[in-house]
Structure 1
Amino acid sequence: MSDRTPWRTRLTSALPATRESRIIAANALVGSTGTGMFLAGSALYFTRFAGLTHIQLGLGLAIAGIVGIATTVPMGRLADRFGPRNVLLFACVWRAVGYLAFLNVDGFTEFVITASLLYVVDRAGQPLNQALVGRLITGTERNRTMGFIRALRNVGFTVGFAVGGIALTAGTATGFRLLFVGNALSFLVIFVFLWLLPDVRAAAPATGGEGKEKPGGPVVPPLRDARFVAATAANGVLFLHDAILTVVLPLWIAEHTRSPIWMITVLVTANTVITVLAQVRVTRHIQDLDSATRATNHSAGLMSLACLAFAASGVADAPGWTVAALAAAVLLLTAGELLHSASSWEISFAMSPDAAQGRYLAFFNVGFSAAEIAGPAVVLWLLSTSGPLGWLVLAVAFPLAAALSWTGTRARPASAAEPSGSDTPTVANATGS
């Protein structure tokens, strides 16, 4: 029995520590599996069976993305008022209905309307989940939970894409529609899990005799918080690592290097495996705003080195040297990605006032969304016009972004600072068991 105890202890320590964090992590796995199924077949379904051209599909998604970005902060305000769990419950139903509604889309106008309505909650999903983590979990377990979420999302996307491959092989409309149904059902499963969580909200702000809030008056909107705006903009630039891995890397290898095409699969798989295995471990070293700022600087340096390696892969003559340069580039970029993800969670948590955590996290996510939408086009344009020199521009951009982030995260005056993890939540309705 004693021989088994260390093994059980190690297994327990490798899992999320609290009931709430385990439920939230399970939701990440379920949701990303459904989303992976949808993404695997959605483009082909809309162009083959819903009457859209490729240009209409891209334009429609861009319009929906803009709508989603514009409504992210208002959704965060709802989370501040009604609690992130309750808004997420509503969002789950909305998303389930929305993805089923896609099955009745016929033509561009119907697609834009449906996608735009769906993106109102789709784009808000990530900051709402982060706000839920911020309300339910404190201390080092908060960032550790975010690490589990990101790792399990990678697992879920991989599983979802694999399932979606079955529909792609069959090529029938029914097979594609089942992917949409599966995605919708995943949100109903998430709804059940969310219902098990307590409805925890921020404590009501104290007021003076004349109804004024103490001690600093009304919360400053995130757009008027210059430090937070700087941190948001900088982290949006640093988030370009996602565009490089998901969109730019395959095209760069295929069109600008002497590497064999199969290296795309090897490198993307390596990134996924490393993320799953290492993301939670990386969060252990980021426990406050100072350590998050240092991690941001280190991540920018690693991503700059990755850009130099990518540039080298484009000028190497021998396939062996090209493969070595690409492998080094992806390993460096992955390390920078892990550090940046963990540091961005701590920065956004630490700089968000308790009473306005939902809207601040939503605003911070706007930087990520903008990079996700515009990043691939910007980086591809840069590389198509400049070739390997374009990587040198990115190699400079990342440290500049880290410097901008530092202007926001450097020490504040004591009267303006709010300690990280100092949330004092109150249980409004303990619906969970």
Structure 2
Amino acid sequence: MSNPPALGLRDFIAALPREGRWLLATVAIQLLGRGMTLPFTIIYLHEVRGFDLGLAGSLMGLIAIVGLVVTGPAGTLIDKYGARPVILGGLVCAIAGDIVLAFADTPILAAAALGLLGVQAGVSWPAANALVATVVEGELRQRYYGVNFALINLGIGVGGVIGGLFIDVSRPETFTYAFLGNAATFVLPALVLLGPLRHVHGRAARPAVDAPDATSSYAKILRRPEVMWLVAIGILLSTLGYGQIESGFPAYSRQIAEVSTRVVGFAFVVNCAVIVLAQFWVMNRVSGRRRTRVLVATAGIWGVAWVVFGSTGLVPGSVAAIVGVIAFQGLFFALGETLMQSVFPALTNDMAPDHLRGRYNAINSASFQTGAIIGPVLAGFLLEHGQSTVFIALMVVGCVGIVAASMRLERRITPAVNGLRPPLIPESAQANA
């Protein structure tokens, strides 16, 4: 095995192909609007539009539900027509959804708007990952996914700060401006895809009809053991991670640890900051290493994080509880996220045949969306029934499950798919060969 040389930001950008630089340039701006609106959407529906809280919560759930429904068809369309037109379709839906939501004064209009945003959420992940895989190759691809994740968090973090300073319930028009601003942020990536990247379709040539895997349905792909283990890992990562960020974490922090909403908000800010600052350090250390072992490290860090977080319930309302909440979200969890996002998308795309990348990325996306649905339901049920200890214990057990599934996956994939590179052969040895 050979470890690639460490790269700084300038070296990384210089090494990217022109198309990769254009794609990366739009990421933070696109997520800036999401950061401005996502934390405040349910507040907008409830306090500005006057929908009761139960209805507002159900409407918010439409984003995940619609996203899960459209992911499968999106993967098929990516493989057939290319990732670029699918991304453009999603961007059009997002622009329309935000414009409608800015003026939605009835539940039907709000549902239509959030459904359109769900379409974009469902197609963007598999299509974007598939498009990146067609323009960035080799070791640079894994690094790209890591930097992309850091920029996503930078955009969301900065957008959240802007939204928090700008949006005011006593001035309903600020919500309208925020949603229209979010719509505007989707225009830039659309212009890039229609202009500088109009030649990049993101569609691989199909192999001969009699070639292995020339045609594969989702059922056939899912029967592959390595894919099933990948799906299991994705569901667990999302259930224990993203499925708890906006549900179990704030609920436990407020009800059990008894910290203020300001502490919860600050923990999110620290989370984004750690991800942005640590990404290159992490990226350079995981390059050339087994990706499954990096996922094991993620599970280990998250396991410790959940234990630390659970212990805050023993000292509610104290300084120790505040430190524990911030340490969970801002340090342990952020570091685990950074490790995971540095390797998981690359693992998926290196596993996938070129002409089936859309379907593989759709399966990956669906597994995370499934966990994002399971996580809040699980947290809500257990915490509502006073089972906070059981909740923390299940999170820790889930981390053990990630370790077991990652080791099973390691035995099913090749070293190259797992991120290992062949050793460099010295020039003297080549000359003597």
Structure 1 position 257, deviation (Å): 2.4
CA distance 1:370–1:301, change in 2 (3 Å): same
Match of 1:88 in 2: 87
Paired residues in the alignment total 407
Residue 20 of structure 1: how far off its partner (Å) = 2.5
Residue 401 of structure 1: aligned partner: 402
Q: Does 1:12 align with 2:13?
A: no
Q: RMSD between aligned alpha carbons?
A: 2.9
5 Å matches for 1:111-260? 111-169=110-168, 171-195=170-194, 196-197=196-197, 198-207=199-208, 212-221=209-218, 222-239=221-238, 240-257=240-257
Q: How do residues 294-333 of structure 1 correspond to structure 2 at under 5 angstroms?
A: 294-316=293-315, 319-330=318-329, 331-333=331-333
The residue that corresponds to 2:276 in the other structure is 276
Q: What's the counterpart of residue 428 of structure 2?
A: none
Q: CA deviation at 1:14?
A: 5.7
CA offsets per residue over residues 104-128 of structure 1, 9 Å max, x none? 4332233323322431222221221
Q: How does 1:302-381 map to 2 (within 5 A)?
A: 302-316=301-315, 319-330=318-329, 331-381=331-381
In the TM superposition, residue 420 of structure 1 has moved relative to its aligned partner by 7.5
Larger deviation, residues 374-383 vs 358-367: 374-383
What is the deviation of 1:277? Answer: 1.0
* Cα gap change, 1:152 to 1:203, in 2 (>3 Å): closer
Contact 1:41 1:179 in 2 (8 A): no
Aligned letter for 1:270? V
Q: 2:425 — aligned with what?
A: none
Letter in 1 for 2:284: R
Inter-CA distance 295–60: structure 2 relative to 1 (3 Å threshold): same
Q: Distance in 2 between matches of 1:411 and 1:374?
A: 27
* Rounded Cα–Cα distance in structure 1 between residues aligned with 2:131 and 2:46: 37
Contact 1:86 1:199 in 2 (8 A): no
Once the 2 structures are TM-superposed, how far is the Cα of residue 391 of structure 1 from its aligned partner? 1.2
Aligned AA (1:373): I
From the superposition, tell whether residues 325 and 93 of structure 1 become closer, same or farther in structure 2 (CA, over 3 Å). closer
Counterpart of 1:263, as a letter, is V
Q: What is the alpha-carbon distance in structure 2 between the residues aligned to residue 161 and residue 329 of structure 1?
A: 20
What is the rounded CA distance, in whole Å, between the counterparts of 1:380 and 1:358 in structure 2?
33
- C-alpha change, 1:201 and 1:383, in structure 2 (3 Å) is same
Rounded to whole Å, the distance in 1 between the matches of 2:14 and 2:380 is 38
CA apart distance, 1:138:
0.7
Instruction: Work out the percentage of aligned pairs sharing the same amino acid.
Output: 25
Q: Residue 216 of structure 2: SS of its match in structure 1?
A: coil
Match of 2:426 in 1: none
After TM superposition, the score normalised by the length of structure 1 is 0.84
**Is there any run of 5+ residues in structure 1 with no aligned partner, and where?**
1-8, 423-433
Aligned position for 1:6 = none
Paired residues of 1:205 and 1:214 also in contact (CA < 8 A): no
* Distance of 2:129 and 2:60 partners within structure 1: 24
**2:178, 2:420 → 1: CA distance?**
39
Aligned-pair CA distance for 1:254: 2.5
Aligned partners of 1:350 and 1:181: how far apart in 2? 38
* Deviation of 1:78 (Å): 1.1
Contact 2:102 2:177 in 1 (8 A): no
Conserved in 2, the CA contact under 8 Å of 1:65 and 1:116?
no
